[in-house]
Homo-oligomer: A and B are copies of this chain.
Amino acid sequence: MPHAGLCTTLNPYAIWAIRGKTLDNINLLRKVQLHLDELRKSERKVANYILLDPASMLQMRISDLAQASDVSEPTVIRFCRALGFDGFQSFKLQLAQYLGSSGNYVQFSVSDSDSVADVNRKVFDATIGSLLNVRDEMDPVALEKAIAALSKARRVEFYGFGASGSVAIDAQHKFFRLQVSAAAYTDPHIQHMSAISLKEKDVVVAISQSGRTKALIQSVNLAREAGATVIGLVPRGTPLAALCDLPIHINVEEVEHVFTPVSSRIAHLVVIDVLAMGVARSSSEHLQDHLKRLNRSLRTLRANSKKPV
């Protein structure tokens, strides 16, 4: 097998996989909340206790949970069954997995006493937490429309400023490789100039963390006037979101008074990856040949000797 470096293997679809997990139980706690009013009164006591402190029940036996919720043991079982689980153990296991997957990445702040290893861990976990949120909030229909538009596009331009500027540049790279005629502009003047020269079959992807950058709004307006389709990677409910033909809403934060500028760029990048993967999927074998050749040519830019660390 070829070296892993940039991209030297054949199948662009081969990545990583989810072990079988029904989509139902991915958001277990949300599911509990949703079914709350379908539950009987005493079962609801159990639900409320679990929603209040999900982690604690992992250590509990059925009798403990019954006592803590002030109901009888059979009720706990009925609660589990009402949610579609086999029984208490089955529910507990699912909850453990759920808490393992998303429960860990809750809020925190780095303190001065943290070691570098702690900071590392926390920054990574913060990022992962954001990604999990964005993943679950993503609208597949919007994605689908965006992928369709990108696949048909004659030319794709990525616009962004600041941190979103580097996302735009990265996106250009990605789409370039897929043989899409792509450009990235991070300068407002050039954006404007390019925007007015766009045609109907062109697509603009506007990337913004704030959703309110004036210059970007202007570029998008110009692009739309020129007849181009505008896809937006923007937070919901912002001026830019309202302006785009195909807004893809990306809300990184849920807790208001928290500073996470770290993660939103990364969420944007991953969404770009999703779009690129979607476009790659919908294109022909021809493209895969192209990718093979591309990788071969990149290899000539590299040194070959392997030296020890």
Which A residues fall within an 8 A CB radius of B?
Answer: 1, 3-21, 55, 58, 92-93, 96-101, 103-112, 115-117, 119-132, 134-135, 138, 140, 143-144, 147, 162-163, 165-167, 169-170, 173-174, 209-215, 217, 235-239, 241-242, 247, 249, 252-253, 256-262, 265-266, 269-270, 273-274, 277-278, 281, 298, 301-309
Contacts and interface: CB of A to CB of B under 8 A. Distances in A.
Contacts of A11: 109, 259
Nearest to A243: B307
B19 A103 contact: yes
A302 B127 contact: no
Top 3 A-B residue pairs of the complex, sorted by shortest distance between their CB atoms: A17-B108, A100-B100, A5-B210
A212 B307 CA distance: 10
B162 A166 contact: no
Contacts of A96: 93, 96-97, 100
B260 A5 contact: no
A93 B163 CA distance: 41
B14 A238 contact: no
Given A15-B108, A16-B107, 9 more contacts: A4-B256, A8-B259, A13-B109, A17-B108, A123-B277, A124-B135, A212-B302, A214-B302, A242-B307
Nearest to A56: B19
Contacts of A135: 120-121, 124-125
A22 to B, nearest CB: 12
Contact of A162 (B14, B121, B173, B210): B173
11 contacts: A4-B258, A4-B260, A11-B109, A15-B107, A15-B123, A17-B109, A19-B99, A100-B101, A127-B270, A166-B170, A239-B306
B119 A258 contact: no
Nearest to A140: B117
Contacts of A162: 6, 173, 298
B104 A104 contact: no
Contacts of A111: 13
A10 B286 CA distance: 51
Nearest to A9: B259
Nearest to A300: B214
A159 to B, nearest CB: 14
A255 to B, nearest CB: 9
A86 to B, nearest CB: 10
Contacts of A303: 212-214, 217, 239
B237 A106 contact: no
